[in-house]
Structure 1
Amino acid sequence: MSLDKQLKAEYQDKIVWITGVGQGIGLSTAKQFSALGAKVIGFDKHFSDASVLYKSVQCDLSNLLELEQILAELISSGLAPYNLINVAGVLEYDSIDALTTEQWLHCHTVNCSAVFLFIQACYNNFKQNKAGSIVTVGSNAAQTPRQKMAAYCASKAAVTQLTLTAGLELANYGIRCNVIAPGSTLTPMQTGMWQDDSGAQNVIDGFAKEYKLGIPLQKIATPDEMAHSIVFIASNLSSHTTMQVIAIDGGATF
């Protein structure tokens, strides 16, 4: 059986939860799972293409009380996921002395605390079903400090360890939990940091003054490339992979 047929056989009519489906990596991931026959439940504030979703859930991941209620309702309605894919994230970009407490908390709330609620909401169903997996999109910045990215780096380090700990706790139930750690990827978050048309090339070349290496592969990743990896790691094609952090950054953090 071809790999494509194996994936379609696995995902036909399976419920997959994906956060951050409004754009970028989340949207690409939703499209790929949908093409495999999955029933994708997507979470975001805004949706640019809801046609690939089985159900769209409009929510603010920084509102934890509201999010907890939404997730509980989905679980009680029999819509617990076969795969939980945590993609949504925000960047607060400023030096430590300029960051506000509000910025710090916002970054940690969306990038880590919301993921905690998603994992917790699905936890018992994963244990009972003994099938499926969790994939969290972290960042190579979780292990490599970046100037003006203290809140982001710290939040991604936190959510990485959260996901790996879930993997350790759920291993006896056959549930795999892994982290995809992208580097620079062509998303609005990335392009929002560029100053001019040379932004992409500058990222590829690196910033010596900021102690940031360039990208050996000489290109910036696309959301589709990240989505391919997410689908593979989440699926049974990767059935013996758990508690791993897989950097996909073109060699930027070798």
Structure 2
Amino acid sequence: MDMPVLENARTAGHLSGRVAVVTGSTSGIGLGIARALAGAGADVVLNGLGDRRDIDRACEDLSNESGVKVIFDDANLADPVEARNLIVRSVWKFGKVDILVNNAGVQHVNQIENFPDEKWDTIIALNLSAAFHTIKASFGAMKANNFGRIINVASAHGLVASPFKSAYVAAKHGVIGLTKTVALEGAEFGVTCNAICPGYVWTPLVENQIDSTAMARGLTREEVIRDVLLAAQPTKRFAETEEIAALAVFLASDSGKSITGAALPIDGGWTAH
């Protein structure tokens, strides 16, 4: 993250003394959010997939950059017990969870008549059900503490649909419904819940989509980027992880206390159509 963005995150956040759990945070958007939260003063629990040496290095780098505690938990969020235990272990380590960012996700692109059942189940489990389980495990304590910030990373696909993404679109629409319900339940207890809805952000997940979309539609990579991925984004550019992270820090701060139940697009105008 460049220094102006990091300084903005620090100024907006004032998150010293807060503890944040960020799922799917070993790369891409999740890692960007974790870095910004750490830069704003929060201790952070990373979670996700990847080479353990790279993950340990990321924890060390974030801690050195920001002066906060950063640890890693390898919970498999497709397993409801593990999803809940991620919160339990985080509380055991830090004493509380103030900020929960549900970012973990997976994608598969295929025609619905050929969509593998196991892919559907995995996408729903990781993109939607995992958020339910982590929220359920942390919500009671947040209410008791009269403070909580739950941020669900949904997608523009939580607001509009695209072909060949039945499971992902269904899951992300579900995340927004979950967000609204949790916001209403937490409103009188100082607990907010919001969804960030990115358009296309240049991440490993999007990079992996390019080839699968090209195969599904019979297009070249360049055609997928121009005519599929960025076709709906009037800005004709990929969003950057730092943009998503800056909004997450704002929502996690005291400045975001009156924003709850919102689905906030960062999509270059995609859903303005």
SS where residue 148 of structure 1 aligns?
Answer: coil
Work out whether 1:107 is the aligned partner of 2:123.
Answer: yes
SS in 1 for 2:152: strand
Indicate how the Cα distance of structure 1 residues 40 and 97 shifts in structure 2: closer, same or farther if over 3 A, else same. same
Superposed, which structure 2 residues align to 1:23-42 within 5 Å?
Answer: 23-42=27-46
Matched, 1:50 2:75: no
Aligned residues: 245
SS state at 1:90 partner:
coil
Relative to the length of structure 2, the TM-score reads 0.83
Greater percentage in helix: 2
SS in 2 for 1:136: strand
Cα distance per residue 1:211-238 (max 9 Å; x no partner): xxx2111211111111111111221122
**Separation of aligned partners in 2, 1:184 and 1:168:** 29
How many angstroms apart in 1 are the aligned matches of 2:114 and 2:16? 49
Report the 3-state secondary structure (helix = DSSP H, G, I; strand = E; otherwise coil) of the residue aligned with 1:192: helix
Q: Is the 8 A contact 1:179 1:243 kept in 2?
A: yes
Match of 2:208 in 1: 192
Q: Distance in 2 between matches of 1:61 and 1:5?
A: 29
Matched, 1:22 2:47: no
SS in structure 2 at match of 1:134: strand
Structure 2 vs 1, CA of residues 170 and 85 (structure 1 numbering), >3 Å: closer, same or farther? same
Change (3 A) 1:40 1:74: closer
Cα deviation 1:116-163 (Å, max 9, x = unaligned): 111011111111111131110001112211111000000111111112
Partner deviation per Cα, 1:78-111 (whole Å, 9 max, x = no partner): 5321111111111121111111221111001001
Q: List gaps (5 residues or longer) in structure 2.
A: 1-6, 64-69, 212-220
Alignment correspondent of 2:216? none
Matched with 1:221 is 239
1:81 partner amino acid: V
- Percent of matched pairs sharing the same residue: 27
CA RMSD of aligned residues (A): 2.0
- Give the Cα–Cα distance (whole angstroms) in 1 for the partners of residues 230 and 135 of structure 2: 38
CA contact (8 A) 2:200 2:230 kept: no
Among candidates 263, 267, 270, match of residue 245 of structure 1: 263
Aligned to 1:167: 183
